[in-house]
Amino acid sequence: MRLFVVTWVVLLSACTSFNSSLYSQSLQSCLSHLSAFKKEVNRQQVNDGQVLNHKAFPYLAFDRFSQSQLEQVTTDRDRSQWLDYTSQLATRQRQAEFNNLLVNRFDLQVLDNCADKLTAEAKHNDLVWESLIEQKISIPDSYEPWLRVFGLYPISRQVAQSSIDKEKKRILLGFSDTSIHTTSYRLPKTSLPAQDIETWFNDALQHSTLGWPMLTDAQISQLYHYYSPLINVEHGSDDDIPGTVHYLANEQQPAVDPSKPALYVHHSYTQLYGETYLQLNYSLWFANRTPTSSFDPYAGKFDGVLLRLTLDHQGRPLLLDSIHHCGCYHMVFNLTDRFGFENANPDIETPLLFKRAVPSHASSWSVTLSQGEHMIRHIDWNKQAEAEAKRQARTLARLDYDQLRQLPTGHHHTVSLFNPRGLLPSSERLESVYLWPFGIPSAGAMRQLGHHAIAFVGVRHFDQPNLFEQIIRPVKP
């Protein structure tokens, strides 16, 4: 079998699309091997769309944050950190794609070792780095311009503005409602001294010449639990239980199992006025968005909410924002007096904005979701949240978001919850029939990270590195 793989790699190496002369002779086979793997992934149509690949660099993967930071990479230490970050993105993607292959003649350890060697080479090989810069790799946005052209977008946006404003008003009115008959969920809480957290961030920032607070996996794992919210959900049916996503082999489709309540986590980074901040992300998945009437264009299979907590350089809450997994209903909670909200820009849709003060060194907070549509009704950071956290609550299993990229099928391979375009096909909504003029394909369908368009008017993505600079501004002392 190994002889077959080596022979296959050699044959394919003649048609690889990278400039292999940039690399050491000893790494030529590694380049060919990784390129062959990517070609097979594409051939079997199991390519993962969470991050972007480029055929010239099969050992790296790119997201909006990494590409926004390239201009700041000026030293060898900067280059090393940037390459470590993009190679880690590729490693996680490679594992998912490897597991998703139906017919697999590759060895994951061999692929990973090759990627590590090529990354190490790129750190000190100026020709490779210059080639990477010259490629000007950019992440395509999640909008289709041709839809806006045929949908007469300049007119459509004017017609739809009143409906958008009406929907926002409805959500705001519901936000102040008192919820009853809620069921509470939470991850097991971790006790951490605030001084320890601050030390972690100080050490990480001192180590990074780019100013990235890149903590260790163990530290971030503890922060997930330390800052995990108490989640209160109004209970109307099993559709209101945050469950585990799994694959139904007999039906050949994914579903959410409410008998196994779970919370999916991942971390990300954002840049705000020249500073880079760590973000803790908590994702809830529900089996359905329950219809409110016999004809509800927003109802359908699957629903979910993503809560994202941005921490300052002392590891304290700075901002909280959220979306549904369709990219809809962007809410931003300003948790500090350091920032105020920007004036509304008529050229781009404004998210729902809230000001919420956070007590010093607060870690306990609660979020309340409505039944059926799972809209945020309440956010609380005061003593009440701490008291509620001590009452009886169902324990959530903490799962890595990457598991959604490789769901076990029971047939010696896995499948991604999402297609290569980053969409969850079985979650389509009828609302897409009349929302297509805004340029968002399959509006209302659940989306993978990296594909969340969050504005119908204008262009805006949830993972946009400078997203908050469009929404908040520093307050002068």
SS (H, E, C) the chain: CHHHHHHHHHHHHCCCCCCHHHCCHHHHHHHHHHHHHHHHHHHCCCCCCCCECCCCCCCCCECHHHHHCHHHCCCHHHHHHHHHHHHHHHHHHHHHHHHHCCCCCCCHHHHHHHHHHHHHHHHHCHHHHHHHHHHCCCCCCCCCHHHHHHCCHHHHHHHHHHHHHHHHHHHHHHHCCCCCCEEEEECCCCCCCHHHHHHHHHHHHHHCCCCCCCCCHHHHHHHHHHCCCEEEEECCCHHHCCCEEEEECCCCEEEEECCCCEEEEEEEEEEECCEEEEEEEEEEEEEEECCCCCCCCCCEEEEEEEEEEEECCCCCEEEEEEEECCCCCCEEEECCCCEEECCCCCCCCCCEEEECCCCCCCCCCEEEECCCCCCEEEEECCHHHHHHHHCCCEECEEEEHHHHHCEECCCCCEECCCCCCCECHHHCCCCHHHHHHHCCCCCCCCECCCCCECCCCCCCECCCCCHHHHCEEECCC
* Predicted local distance difference test score (pLDDT) of residue 29: 93
Residue with tokens 């029939």: 433
Q: Is residue 12 one of the residues assigned to a domain? A: yes
Q: Is residue 28 one of the residues assigned to a domain? A: yes
| CA distance linking residue 424 with residue 179, whole number of Å | 31
Do 123 and 169 lie in a common domain?
no
Mode of pairing for the β-strands spanning 397-400 and 262-272? parallel
Question: What number of residues does the chain have?
Answer: 477
Do 59 and 188 lie in a common domain?
no
Q: Which residues pair with 185 in a beta bridge?
A: 231, 394
Last residue of a domain, one of 112, 135, 158: 135
Q: Which residues does the chain have with pLDDT short of 70?
A: 1-20, 177-179, 383-391
Q: Is residue 377 one of the residues assigned to a domain? A: yes
Q: Is residue 405 one of the residues assigned to a domain? A: yes
Neighbour-count burial of 235, counting CB atoms closer than 10 A to its CB (0-12 exposed, 13-18 middle, 19+ buried) = middle
* Predicted local distance difference test score (pLDDT) of residue 390: 61
Report the domain count for the chain.
2
Look up the domain containing 371 and give its range. 145-474
Do 67 and 105 lie in a common domain?
yes
> To 10 degrees, what angle do helices 194-207 and 217-226 make?
140
Do 291 and 168 lie in a common domain?
yes
Beta carbons within 8 Å of 198's beta carbon, 6+ residues apart: 314, 315
| CA distance linking residue 375 with residue 363, whole number of Å | 23
Do 173 and 80 lie in a common domain?
no
pLDDT digits (tens, 9 = 90+) for 56-89: 999 999 999 999 999 999 999 999 999 999 999 9
Do 108 and 151 lie in a common domain?
no
Q: Is residue 114 one of the residues assigned to a domain? A: yes
Q: Is residue 160 one of the residues assigned to a domain? A: yes
Do 154 and 118 lie in a common domain?
no
Q: Is residue 140 one of the residues assigned to a domain? A: no
Do 31 and 98 lie in a common domain?
yes
Do 155 and 116 lie in a common domain?
no
Cβ-based neighbour number of residue 402 at 10 Å: 17
pLDDT digits (tens, 9 = 90+) for 3-49: 334 333 333 443 444 566 788 888 999 999 999 999 999 999 999 99
Last residue of a domain, one of 135, 166, 186: 135
Do 329 and 448 lie in a common domain?
yes
Do 105 and 163 lie in a common domain?
no
Q: What is the pTM of this model?
A: 0.93
Q: Is residue 346 one of the residues assigned to a domain? A: yes
* Predicted local distance difference test score (pLDDT) of residue 2: 41
* Predicted local distance difference test score (pLDDT) of residue 250: 85
Beta carbons within 8 Å of 311's beta carbon, 6+ residues apart: 201, 213, 223, 227, 277, 278, 279, 280, 317, 318
Do 194 and 336 lie in a common domain?
yes
* Predicted local distance difference test score (pLDDT) of residue 160: 85
Last residue of a domain, one of 92, 117, 135: 135
